[in-house]
Amino acid sequence: MINIAVFASGRGTNFYAIARGVRRGELKVNLALLVCDNPAAAVLDKARKLKVKSVLIERKDFAGKQGFEAEIIRLLKENHIDLVVMAGFMRVLSPYFVRSYADRIINIHPSLLPAFKGAQGIKDAFDYGAKVSGVTVHFVDEEMDHGPIILQQAVEIRPKDTPASLEARIHKIEHALYPRAIQLIAQGKVRLKGRKVLLKCG
């Protein structure tokens, strides 16, 4: 069973979906650690209630970004983390960090990448007038919202949608798709060939 660490900075809805899957036995991984950089984040309360080990590590306590990331890497190694799961962690990882956990960091993004990268993926798709948005789970590389795609699912943007209604439907898909992607990795059904993902069926 692999050890995973979830990185989150906010409400922690994806963290909760992952933790719920683990508790129900649907997601067969060890949720070993929550890493959070925001002392006001609601995800910390969720971790306490679910009895998931958490660590609060703030960028302001370090002279530079590399020192901040080096401490996180130390914690990951101390907890024998096999897979880093980004779930609303509002910091861009440096190439130093990505190389340290190459092909062992995944992220979820609320659009069909490569469309609508960035922090406002849902709003950007809505404002653009796109007919379809969606959710992407991908490996993290040294570029923002980039890297080999593991799973994607489309979400129709309906004529009567508002940004809030679209966001609610996208989040519902996220909460199902992310645990599914993690489970595929845990089962050894995800393999990288070059910069493409091969999924093993069955």
DSSP 75-88: HHHHTT-SEEEESS
CA proximity to 98, closest of 34, 146, 149, 43: 146
pLDDT at 96 over 90: yes
**In 3-state terms, what secondary structure has residue 51?**
coil
The domains found in the chain, sorted by start residue, are 1-101 (3.40.50.170), 107-202 (3.40.50.170)
Look at 59 and 3; give whichever has higher pLDDT.
3
Q: How confident is the model at residue 151 (pLDDT cuts 50, 70, 90)?
A: very high
Which residue's structure tokens are 């309906």? 158
Q: How confident is the model at residue 196 (pLDDT cuts 50, 70, 90)?
A: confident
Average pLDDT for residues 118-147, to the nearest whole number? 91
In angstroms, the CA 66 to CA 46 distance is: 28
pTM (two decimals): 0.93
pLDDT at 177: 97
Average pLDDT for residues 49-69, to the nearest whole number? 93
pLDDT at 36 over 90: yes
pLDDT at 200: 76
pLDDT at 56: 96
Among all residues, which ones are annotated catalytic?
A: 109
pLDDT at 24 over 80: yes
Q: Is the sign of the CA dihedral 171, 177, 183, 189 positive or negative? A: negative
Q: How confident is the model at residue 202 (pLDDT cuts 50, 70, 90)?
A: low
pLDDT at 148 over 80: yes
In angstroms, the CA 194 to CA 108 distance is: 21
pLDDT at 155 over 80: yes
Spatial neighbors of 18 by CB under 8 A, at least 6 apart, are 4, 6, 27, 31, 85, 87, 178, 179, 182
pLDDT at 31 over 90: yes
